[in-house]
Amino acid sequence: MPGGRPSRQAVYQRLEDALADLRTRLGGMPSPDEASDIWTEIWHHEAHHSTAIEGNTLVLSQVRKLLDEGRAVGSKELREYMEVEGYATAARWVYEQAHGLGTWTDGELLTLHEVRSVHHQVMGLVWEVSPHANATPEETPGNWRRHEIQPFGGGMKPPPFTEIDALMRDWVAEVSQLVSADEATPFPERLARMHNDFERIHPFLDGNGRTGRLLLNLVLVRLGYPPAIVFKNDRSRYLTAMERADGGEYGPLGELLARAITDNLHRFIVPAVAGPARLVPLASLAGSDLSLTANALRTAAVRGRLRAQKQPDGTWMSSRNWVDDYLRQRYRRI
C-alpha cells in the first residue's frame, strides 16, 4: 500500500528483481577473485548474529578480532569464543560453495554427510570445552540425538529419536527437489518450509538452530543466492515466524527470509561487484548515516541534488561516484 509496509508478494518480487538485475547487468554473483572481501564481511556478521540468536554475548568487534586475528578480546567464557569460532569454520566452508571451490559435483543439492559435517564443524570446538550435560558417547557432534526432546514453548514436539534417520533421509531428498517444486508456492516459502522442517525434526541434541541456518545458506549459495542473515534484533520475529510455520503457515518466515536475502544483496554483494561508476539501486548505496538511508538518497534524487536515473519501473539508480559527489557538494553548502 502507498506509504505503508510492502505486501508479502511485493517483498518476494523485490527479491526476484534484485537477483535478475544482479545476473543481467552485473554478471551474477562475484567470482572467486572478487568474492574474498565480500564474503569476509558477510562471514563476520553471520557468525555474530547467528550465535547471538542462541545467546552468545560477543559483540561484532570481538567477533572480528577473534576471526581475523585469533585474539579472544574481552573476558567472556571460553565456551562463547569456541561457539563463534566453530560456527565461522563451518560458514567459511559454506561460502566456498558459492564460487566454485566446494565439492558439490554429484548433482545433489545437499547430502546427509554434509548435514552431519556442518554440525560437526559448528559444535566440535565448543563440545571440547562445554559438552552437553546429558550427552551419551553416541551423541557427539555430527551424530543424531539419542534422547527425546520435550515440547518447545510454542507446543511443537520433535519426533522420537528412533525416527530421525528416516526423517532426515526424506528431508534431504525433499531439499534436492526445492527448485523443481510446485511453482505456485513462492520460492521463499518453499525455503521457509525446508528450514522449518529441519528444526522440527531437531536431529541433534544441541546446535540445531545454528546448523539449520547454515544448511539454509548452503542451499542458497549453491542456487546462486547470497546467504540470509537473521539479525539478532529480529530474533523475536524469527522465532514467532518459526512457530507459525510449525502450524503450516510459511508466509511470515518466507517474508523474513526474502528480506534477509535482499538486504544482503543490497548491502554486500551489489556495491562490491558493481564498482564505483556502475548504476545500482539506491538501496545498494545506503549507509549507516541517517543522511544516507535509501529514503534520504531517494529524496535527494527527486530534488535533483543527487545525480540519479529513474527506471521505467520507478526504481531510482545512481552510482558510488555520484553519491560521493553529492556528499561533497552537500558539505560544501553547509
Q: What is the pLDDT of residue 26?
A: 72
CB-based contacts of 247: which residues, under 8 Å, 6+ apart? none
For residues 205 and 9, give the distance between their C-alpha atoms in angstroms, rounded to a whole number: 36
Give the span between the Cα atoms of 227 and 32, in whole angstroms: 16
Name the band, by pLDDT with cuts 50, 70 and 90, for residue 107.
Answer: low
CB 297 within 8 A of CB 323: yes
Q: Measured between alpha carbons, how far is 56 from 258 in angstroms, rounded to an integer?
A: 25
Q: Which helix (H) or strand (E) holds 281?
A: strand 280-281
Residue 100 reports pLDDT greater than 70 = no
pLDDT bracket for residue 1 (50, 70, 90): very low
The confidence score (pLDDT) of residue 164 equals 97
DSSP string of 18-82?
A: HHHHHHHHS-SSPPHHHHHHHHHHHHHHHHHHHHHHTT----HHHHHHHHHH----SS--HHHHH
Percent of the chain with pLDDT over 70: 90
- In the CATH hierarchy, which top-level class contains the domain 8-274? mainly alpha
Region at 104 (left for phi over 0; alpha for psi -120 to 50; beta for the rest)? beta
Looking at residue 116, its pLDDT comes to: 96
Nearest to 218 by CA among 94, 87, 73: 94
Which region among 29-38, 198-207, 241-250, 291-300 has the lowest average model confidence (pLDDT)? 29-38
Contact 191, 260 (CB under 8 A): no
pLDDT at 217 over 60: yes
Dig out the grid coordinates for 223 from the structure: 542456487
Mean pLDDT, the chain, whole residue set: 86
Model-level pTM greater than 0.85? no
Higher pLDDT, 44 or 32: 44
Q: What is the pLDDT averaged over residues 242-254?
A: 96
